[in-house]
Chain A
Amino acid sequence: MALMQVSDLTMTFSGITAIENLTFNIEEGSITSLIGPNGAGKTSVFNCMTGFYKATNGNITFQGESLINLKPYKITQKGIIRTFQNVRLFKNLTVLENVISGTHRVTKQSVLGALLKYPAQRREEKEALKIAETCLETVGLSEKKHQLAKNLSYGDQRRTELARALAAKPKLLLLDEPAAGLNREEKNKLAEHIHFFRDKFGITVFLIEHDMDLVMKVSEKVVVVNFGGKIAEGTPEEIQANRLVIEAYLGTDEDEGGL
């Protein structure tokens, strides 16, 4: 069974249909991409998967359990971790604290622990710190861990967000346009990271991306949407040869591919 199944997903905002009867699967251990022209409804799919939007119709299951009507934090607690299109770090906190936020999901201590600082609390604090440090090292940001997130360069902010997601030990990692605004070198690094996350930690990756280079380089499966519905699905090679996909992109005025 697929790790995540999206079936007949429909989402309407006050009369406008953003997603229509969308069905696809994300296989465990795969790297899958969702592509489509601007306004095709990609981010809406993402927001439905993570509980930020409420689907009008259809179902989304994760490991066989339905995610419909769950709050975002509940979905995160199940191991589905997302990043944001327009990087949303905790700006006035340090890089390290940002990354520790990922460990919230895998730790437990609360008010009493904070006040009494008993051994379990201390142990967990150390553990969280260790996880965060490791994740920072993985993305190569260890030296900047004490800087405030808002003072980082854009590329570093993106990497911090990756480290933060990684610290949550995701089963499924959802990346919303992770390459946006990165230069060629940073993109290559990103592709490496995505592969590394999957190969080393067994994380299933699902990404929305405009950057065709990246999509074709990392994906094993590509799902193409336009006007809220699926128009194609297949390996990168199949998609590149698909007439509908080419039309969807060339038929619009947008210049999105491969830049």
Chain B
Amino acid sequence: MGFENKRTKFAVLAALFVLAAVLPLFLDNYTLNVLWNAMFYMLLALGLNIIVGYTGLCDLGYAAKFAIGAYTTGILIKTFGWNFWLTLPVSALVSALAACVIGAPTLKLRSDYLAIVTLGFAEIVRISARNLDITGSASGINAIERPYFFGIHLTKISHWYYVFFALVIVFIIISKRIRYSRFGRALAFIREDEDAAQAMGVNTTLFKLYAYIAGAVLGGITGSFYAVKMTSISPGSFDFTQSANILLAVILGGMGKIPGVIVGAAFFAIFPELFRDVPFVGNMRMLFFGLLLIVVMINRPQGLWPEKPVKR
């Protein structure tokens, strides 16, 4: 039975892959952009999932992580004329450093304190971006040059569709590898029972910091790609609503379950588009999400994605 299951799973995944790969040939630019946006949310949700879903830490300021990546790339390209691809390691490094600075002293605090610190830090990042000259103040950084990839100038939406599609696959592989490793299991132990994790020899503070850094780096990289795709970034894209949306996608979708997180993110990106032009309902979107959140937390604290069936 296990064998057949695996085969079905592989077949479904392969079919999805082929479908996703050929889609740009049939779709118009608007739809492609919506799909790109969905993949962008998937990346963010996969990154945050390591912090929230895997480790059980509450991060209310994930937007700051991708803001840091986006601004690092934006500034390096605009002000210093760097090549986009070279900004990626720097963006990862800056994100990791920021996560260290904010995480190292606070991760040993009570979990809900961490939530509020991440929120405060995100506000600091956003307000700084709005007021500093190097980040272009309120208008942000504009006309960021789009990169080349093996001679192809990435200007079309279909290009970005494929770039982000590849990124989603890379992020999924990273997530899977982390989950089924000593590192990832330690994170799960921390999430389930921090004292018991300590009792099994897990240096909980250190592993929480690793998770926090890993999530921040993935967020930073996503931010870098976002900056060159959009060609302009401004503080408005990184506010609390953004952080809340990503968090909700992770929690509603799956809390640690990768397919759940993917579906959750897609839902969050596509749902508003469907209701954009419907009067009244469009406005009530967040109201509806709020209600959904309460109901889901009370009835299915593990998220909407179903539990794995027991293997026999």
Contacts and interface: CB of A to CB of B under 8 A. Distances in A.
A and B directly contacting (CB within 8 A): yes
Interface of A: 50, 52, 71-73, 76-77, 81-82, 84, 88-93, 97, 100-105, 107-111, 113-115, 117, 121, 124-125, 128, 146-148, 151, 164, 168
A164 B214 contact: no
A77 B182 contact: no
Nearest to A105: B201
B184 interface: yes
B124 interface: no
Nearest to A90: B192
Given A101-B185, A115-B174, A50 B199 contact: yes
Interface string B58-86: 00000000000000000000000000000
Contact of B189 (A101, A121, A146): A101
Top 4 nearest A-B pairs by Cβ distance? A114-B181, A90-B192, A105-B201, A76-B201
16 contacts: A52-B195, A73-B198, A81-B199, A84-B195, A89-B196, A90-B196, A92-B192, A97-B185, A101-B196, A104-B186, A104-B189, A109-B182, A109-B183, A111-B183, A111-B214, A146-B310
Contacts of A124: 182
Contacts of A101: 185-186, 189, 196-197, 200, 202
A100 B185 contact: yes
A73 B203 contact: yes
Interface in B191-212: 192-193, 195-204, 210
A2 to B, nearest CB: 23
Contacts of B198: 52, 71-73, 76
Contacts of A77: 201
A104 B178 contact: no
Interface of B: 174, 177-178, 181-186, 188-189, 192-193, 195-204, 210, 214, 302, 307, 310-312
B267 to A, nearest CB: 23
Given A146-B312, A148-B310, 6 more contacts: A52-B198, A73-B202, A88-B199, A91-B193, A101-B185, A104-B182
A214 B263 CA distance: 52
Contacts of A50: 199
A214 B184 CA distance: 38
B199 A93 contact: no
A34 to B, nearest CB: 18
A147 B310 CA distance: 6
A101 to B, nearest CB: 5
A84 B188 contact: no
Given A110-B210, A115-B174, A117-B177, A84 B199 contact: yes
